[in-house]
């Protein structure tokens, strides 16, 4: 009997890749998404890859009654993967209340409804942003949580505390918190990928749009950092590798593989790559030059951060497999597919 999993934010970037991996693993997936930062055509892409069209409910997770109705009409949901959130750091500074409401109330609604519907576990999308600039690199899950540099980062920290406090108060469900580093790339089929609204804030979509001529040139935010080539360092992880970790996390919870009701894992490659190195990897992998210029630092940027993924490697039995060099080419193939479809 296929186990039912609810994926909130399932037409989004990471959610859509995770739906594919859940389906490949034999799960029956229900997507809830309000399409505030994605579109329903993503479901066509999911179906093209897996051959299975997931059930989709266009619904805002702030709508507790709507969620309750969804759970009532779809009995037997065993687990939730909660991706739905607003995630633009810069926007969060301009619109903090939107972020606090959207990123906190949606989680609270789900946690309150889970016991009423026999839902056994929730996987939560957190971020390495909770670490700020770590004192020690690579960063482990035991690193201190630093004061958030943005309302967005603060919502992730508060979300983690909400889950921790709820479980420690005796809630009858488990949770696995996954702290993502920098997800990049697209499914190898190029049927799904990252599709940011408007001008991309993140490096890779801006880079691929520049390479295609949509953007005039890429601004590299600073080359005067204390790093080998002066540009910032990040841990860029293939989005499909990231998605596979969610299937393992759900299985771990539903098959009661751990005594702990709350576990936290870093999802990264363990390898730090600089902005200039990533540009170089793109040009070598695609043969396409990226026009760029060095400009001043971007406010709030962390200088360097990369994961110590040993706990996920050993406890989950998960390791990021794809190299940055191969992954950045999947981002380019996706950008070419968008152009082919006349989307960008
Ligand atoms: P995304 O914006 O592509 O996906 C989020 C999805 O959630 C979108 O489809 C959006 O329409 C939906 N959504 C937002 N608010 C909703 C609501 N109230 N009700 C229903 N649907 C709602 O973002 P993503 O990159 O796929 O990120 C997914 C999760 O991972 C987010 O929680 C994000 O904070 C977290 N995360 C992302 C990154 C990253 O670099 N992309 C890194 C760390 C953590
Ligand atoms: C990566 C590097 C920039 C754009 C953010 C959020 C984080 C998570 C992932 C949600 C940095 C540089 C970027 C550009 C550049 N999101 N850059 N020119 O800032 O590491 O993380 O997205 O959870 O929470 O903070 O990702 O892709 O924006 O930047 O030089 O046009 O690329 O300075 O060093 P970031 P990013």
The span from the CA of 70 to the CA of 57, in Å, is 8
On average, the pLDDT of the chain sits at 97
Q: Which residues pair with 292 in a beta bridge?
A: 218
In this structure, which residue's CA is closest to atom 14 in ligand 2? Answer: 203
pLDDT band at residue 1 using 50, 70 and 90 as cut-offs? low
CA nearest to 110, candidates 76, 83, 73: 83
In this structure, which residue's CA is closest to atom 36 in ligand 2? Answer: 202
- pLDDT tens per residue across span 220-267: 999 999 999 999 999 999 999 999 999 999 999 999 999 999 999 999
pLDDT band at residue 198 using 50, 70 and 90 as cut-offs? confident
pLDDT given at position 312: 98
pLDDT at position 140 over 70: yes
The span from the CA of 340 to the CA of 344, in Å, is 8
- pLDDT tens per residue across span 42-51: 999 999 999 9
pLDDT at position 298 over 80: yes
Distance 99 CA to ligand 1 centre (A): 12
Ligand positioned closest to the Cα atom of 266:
1
- pLDDT tens per residue across span 323-334: 999 999 999 999
Ligand positioned closest to the Cα atom of 201:
2
C-alpha distances out from residue 321 to 204, 241, 327, Å:
19, 7, 10
pLDDT given at position 132: 94
pLDDT at position 92 over 90: yes
- Pocket-testing residue among 84, 187, 249, 267, ligand 1, by greatest number of atoms within 8 A of Cβ: 84
Residues catalogued as catalytic: 152
Question: How many Cβ atoms from other residues are within 10 Å of residue 170's Cβ?
Answer: 7
Do 263 and 177 form a contact (C-beta atoms < 8 A)? yes
- The pTM score is 0.97
Ligand positioned closest to the Cα atom of 83:
1
Distance 85 CA to ligand 1 centre (A): 5
**End-to-end Cα spacing for the chain:** 41
Distance 226 CA to ligand 1 centre (A): 31
Q: CB under 6 Å to ligand 1: residues?
A: 8-9, 11-15, 32-38, 60-62, 83-87, 102, 106, 125, 127, 180, 182-183
219 ligand 2 Cβ < 6 A: yes
In this structure, which residue's CA is closest to atom 33 in ligand 2? Answer: 221
221 ligand 2 Cβ < 6 A: yes
pLDDT given at position 196: 79
In this structure, which residue's CA is closest to atom 15 in ligand 1? Answer: 85
- pLDDT tens per residue across span 99-128: 999 999 999 999 999 999 999 999 999 999
The span from the CA of 328 to the CA of 322, in Å, is 10
pLDDT given at position 344: 77
pLDDT given at position 98: 98
Mean pLDDT of 76-85: 98
pLDDT given at position 188: 97
Distance 234 CA to ligand 2 centre (A): 8
Q: Is the dihedral of CA 66, 68, 73, 75 positive or negative?
A: positive
């Amino acid at each position: 009997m296929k186990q039912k999993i609810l994926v909130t934010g399932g037409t989004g970037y990471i959610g859509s890749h995770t739906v594919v991996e859940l389906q490949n693993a034999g799960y029956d997936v229900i997507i809830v998404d309000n399409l505030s930062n994605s579109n329903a055509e993503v479901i066509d892409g999911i179906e093209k890859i897996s051959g299975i069209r997931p059930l989709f409910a266009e619904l805002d997770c702030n709508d507790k009654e709507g969620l309750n109705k969804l759970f009532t009409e779809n009995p037997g949901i065993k687990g939730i993967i909660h991706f739905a959130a607003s995630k633009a750091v810069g926007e969060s500074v301009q619109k903090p209340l939107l972020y606090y409401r959207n990123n906190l109330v949606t989680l609270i609604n789900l946690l309150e409804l889970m016991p009423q519907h026999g839902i056994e576990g929730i996987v939560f999308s957190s971020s390495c942003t909770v670490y700020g600039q770590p004192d020690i690199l690579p960063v482990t899950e035991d690193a201190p949580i630093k004061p958030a540099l943005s309302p967005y980062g603060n919502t992730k920290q508060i979300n983690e505390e909400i889950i921790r406090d709820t479980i420690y108060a005796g809630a009858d469900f488990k949770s696995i918190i996954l702290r993502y580093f920098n997800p990049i790339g697209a499914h190898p089929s190029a049927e799904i990928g990252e599709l940011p609204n408007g001008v991309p804030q993140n490096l890779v979509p801006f880079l691929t749009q520049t390479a295609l001529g949509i953007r005039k040139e890429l601004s590299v935010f600073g080359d005067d950092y204390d790093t080998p080539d002066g540009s910032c360092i990040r841990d860029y992880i293939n989005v499909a590798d990231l998605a596979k970790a969610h299937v393992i996390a759900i299985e771990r919870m539903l098959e009661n593989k751990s005594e702990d009701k709350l576990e936290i894992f870093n999802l990264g490659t363990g390898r730090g790559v600089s902005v200039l190195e990533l540009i170089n990897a793109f040009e070598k992998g695609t043969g396409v030059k990226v026009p760029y210029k060095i400009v001043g630092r971007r406010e709030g940027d962390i200088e360097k951060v990369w994961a110590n993924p040993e706990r996920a490697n050993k406890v989950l039995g998960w390791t990021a497999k794809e190299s940055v060099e191969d992954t950045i080419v999947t981002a380019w193939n996706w950008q070419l597919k968008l152009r082919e479809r006349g989307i960008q």
